[in-house]
Structure 1
């Protein structure tokens, strides 16, 4: 059982369900005015902690730095939505619906909570405990509360970037020298120096002589070689955006005997 002394350790700390799933953080603790013991804890849930789910705290336990409640996450998620009034109280109808949802005996709890001089459940704030009428324990001061707006951020996908590789064919001109052979007829007169070669054959006869011609032609070969590495990276850019929200605050006015005298 959670005691009043443990409330500071509960507020703004994680809350886990019976299966060890994190539900959110404890926002408020509601006390039974009859016994002064904690009865309900509200949990901030959702992406930005804007939702508030109510869970019985009577059988909850503190484990290290978090609170464990004996209910499953789905059960808590399906709990009725309630709207706490400016005095920090649950209405009778809201209490009834919560009791029915969690299978708690409403009649017995309602009888106990509404004994003479008691009634309802009061909410704690960050510094202490509210009484049922918003007065502190001494009864001679009133606590004024106000809502504070907490703005957070959520990460969402806005687009995708990808690298795609494809093949294109380009014409690349390149000049290369090529050689070829051509036929040229050379004539030389018969002299004493070449007479023996000239007279080696028959005197008069038919003959043929063949010469093979050659030329060079360009040959193109290709090979794949790595030339560059390309990758995608991301970098964080910080911009400023202004958001607005509505917060409620309590105001306190005093009616004194001096005011009545001046009105007369």
Structure 2
């Protein structure tokens, strides 16, 4: 998870989101904060032509480097994430569903987080 200030700075810049190999995934959309900690735990990413598709991605294993958000998952993994309403508040059930989906991409081998 990333601290509140870092992710908000990226949001203001309409930052690009980059995958584990430095490839551009899309453009940062909404930021979802954990109510208990105040840290961001998920963001949405606009994918495709003109950013028409908006998908959730976990910030587990994400980092900010040189003003860019780098996530631990490739575009294909993100594109197939559970589709939830990006304009609504994430419920505990929604977060659990996303956590389960993304945990499959980082569990096991060291390189598993780079799945596409």
TM-score computed with the length of structure 1 as normaliser? 0.36
Report the equivalent of 1:183: none
1:92 and 1:7 map into 2 onto residues whose CA distance is 21
Q: Secondary structure at the match of 1:96?
A: helix
2:61 and 2:99 map into 1 onto residues whose CA distance is 14
Report the equivalent of 2:7: 7
Instruction: Tell me which structure has the larger Cα radius of gyration.
Output: 1
- Structure 1 position 98 matched with structure 2 position 98: yes
Structure 1: 4+ residue segments shifted above 3 A: none
2:39 and 2:8 map into 1 onto residues whose CA distance is 14
Q: Which stretches in structure 1 are left out of the alignment for 5+ residues?
A: 105-264
- Structure 1 position 30 matched with structure 2 position 32: yes
Which structure 2 residues correspond to residues 216-235 of structure 1 after superposition, within 5 A? Answer: none
1:58 and 1:10 map into 2 onto residues whose CA distance is 17
Question: Quick one: which of 15, 19, 23 aligns to 2:21?
Answer: 19
Q: Which stretches in structure 2 are left out of the alignment for 5+ residues?
A: 105-116
Which structure 2 residues correspond to residues 183-202 of structure 1 after superposition, within 5 A? Answer: none
Q: How many pairs align?
A: 102
Q: Encode CA deviations 1:208-261: one digit per residue, 9 max, x unaligned.
A: xxxxxxxxxxxxxxxxxxxxxxxxxxxxxxxxxxxxxxxxxxxxxxxxxxxxxx
Report the equivalent of 1:64: 66
Relative to its length, the structure with more helix (as a share) is: 2
Say if 1:38 and 1:58, in contact at 8 Å, map to a contact too.
no
Question: Quick one: which of 37, 52, 55 aligns to 1:53?
Answer: 55
CA separation of 1:51/1:6 partners in 2, compared to 1, >3 Å: closer, same or farther?
Answer: same
1:84 and 1:49 map into 2 onto residues whose CA distance is 14
Q: Secondary structure at the match of 2:21?
A: coil
TM-score computed with the length of structure 2 as normaliser? 0.77
Comparing both chains, which one has the higher relative contact order based on Cα–Cα distances under 8 Å and sequence gaps of 6 or more?
Answer: 2
